[in-house]
């Protein structure tokens, strides 16, 4: 068990935080709005704490659970406070109409985080193909991940496994762009073929 720092106070922050607390981790919630962060920390229970926005985090894994517009600005603001950390980017960078990616061609939210992060930090894409509402149910869903630093990816995979979820590696950080596209396909499914956001993408092996 370890300490996990989560930057964000939305539904992904709450869902991952709750799973972490339930499975014995210590969680630190970090929000620009300290009152909101304290409220989320209270709702998670356990020994969940809050920390100053922009300061060095307690956890070796720092989950950035923010909307796309805030991810790079916040990572830039934290700057050297993220040195040595495993940064997990969970966001789906979609356009306002959710029918395209908002990232420039040839990059991804996770790659932009890697470019903005200080030396010694590693970035792993994870959790963007799992909806918060589904994670919140505690079902053993598949969590697709990507990253260039094998050590960091192994650390994140161990954390995911500790939540009773199944980590599945898709390759290097270049795959983050395609994972973000897969997140958009899930939103398309929710809007068209499925009709709700209460589903998971599962890797199944036929008989």
Distances (CA, A) of 82 to 13, 74, 113, 169: 18, 11, 11, 24
Question: If binding is defined by CB under 8 A, does position 96 make contact with a second copy?
Answer: no
Minimum distance of a second copy from residue 68's CB (angstroms): 16
10 binds a second copy (CB under 8 A): no
Select the span of 21-29, 30-38, 65-73, 172-180 touching a second copy (CB under 8 A): 172-180
Contact window for a second copy (CB under 8 A) among 6-14, 69-77, 109-117, 142-150 = 142-150
Per CB under 8 A, the list member of 10, 54, 118, 171 interacting with a second copy is 171
Rule CB under 8 A: say whether 80 interacts with a second copy.
Answer: no
Residue 173's SS3 state is helix
Could you say whether residue 198 binds a second copy (CB under 8 A)? yes
200 makes contact with a second copy (CB under 8 A): yes
- Looking up tokens 């993408």 gives 201
Total site size for a second copy, rule CB under 8 A: 43
**For a second copy, the closer CB: 38 or 200:** 200
- The single residue among 19, 146, 152, 156 that binds a second copy, judged by CB under 8 A, is 146
What is the C-alpha to C-alpha distance for residues 180 and 110, in angstroms, rounded to an integer? 9
Find out whether 27 and 21 touch, Cβ atoms under 8 Å.
Answer: yes
179 binds a second copy per the rule CB under 8 A: yes
Stretch that binds a second copy, among 24-32, 55-63, 75-83, 184-192 (CB under 8 A): 184-192
Please report whether residue 158 would count as binding a second copy according to CB under 8 A. no
- Rounded Cα distance between 184 and 178, Å, is 10
CA 47, CA 197: separation in Å to the nearest integer? Answer: 31
Long-range contacts, 25-31 (Cβ 8 Å, 24+): 25/1, 25/159, 25/162, 26/1, 26/2, 26/58, 27/3, 28/3, 28/4, 28/57, 28/58, 28/59, 30/5, 30/6, 30/57, 31/7
Provide the 3-class DSSP secondary structure of residue 2.
coil
The binding site for a second copy (CB under 8 A) comprises: 99-101, 105-106, 134, 137, 139, 141, 144-146, 167-172, 174-175, 177-179, 181-182, 184-185, 188-189, 191-194, 198-207
């Amino acid at each position: 068990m370890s300490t996990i720092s989560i930057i964000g106070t939305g539904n992904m922050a709450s869902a991952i935080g709750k799973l972490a607390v339930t499975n014995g981790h210590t969680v630190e919630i970090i929000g620009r709005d300290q009152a909101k962060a304290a409220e989320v920390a209270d709702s998670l229970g356990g020994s969940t704490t809050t920390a100053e926005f922009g300061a060095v985090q307690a956890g070796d894994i720092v989950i950035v659970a923010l909307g796309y517009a805030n991810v790079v600005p916040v990572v830039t603001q934290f700057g050297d406070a993220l040195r040595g950390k495993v940064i997990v980017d969970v966001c789906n960078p979609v356009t306002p109409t959710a029918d395209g990616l908002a990232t420039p061609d040839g990059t991804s939210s996770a790659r932009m985080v890697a470019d903005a992060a200080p030396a010694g930090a590693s970035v792993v894409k994870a959790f963007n193909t799992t909806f918060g509402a589904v994670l919140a149910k505690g079902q053993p869903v598949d969590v697709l991940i990507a990253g260039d630093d094998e050590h960091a990816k192994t650390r994140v995979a161990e954390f995911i496994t500790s939540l009773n979820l199944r980590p599945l590696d898709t390759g290097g950080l270049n795959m983050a762009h395609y994972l973000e596209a897969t997140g958009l396909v899930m939103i398309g499914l929710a809007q068209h073929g499925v009709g709700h956001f209460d589903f998971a993408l599962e890797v199944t092996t036929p008989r």
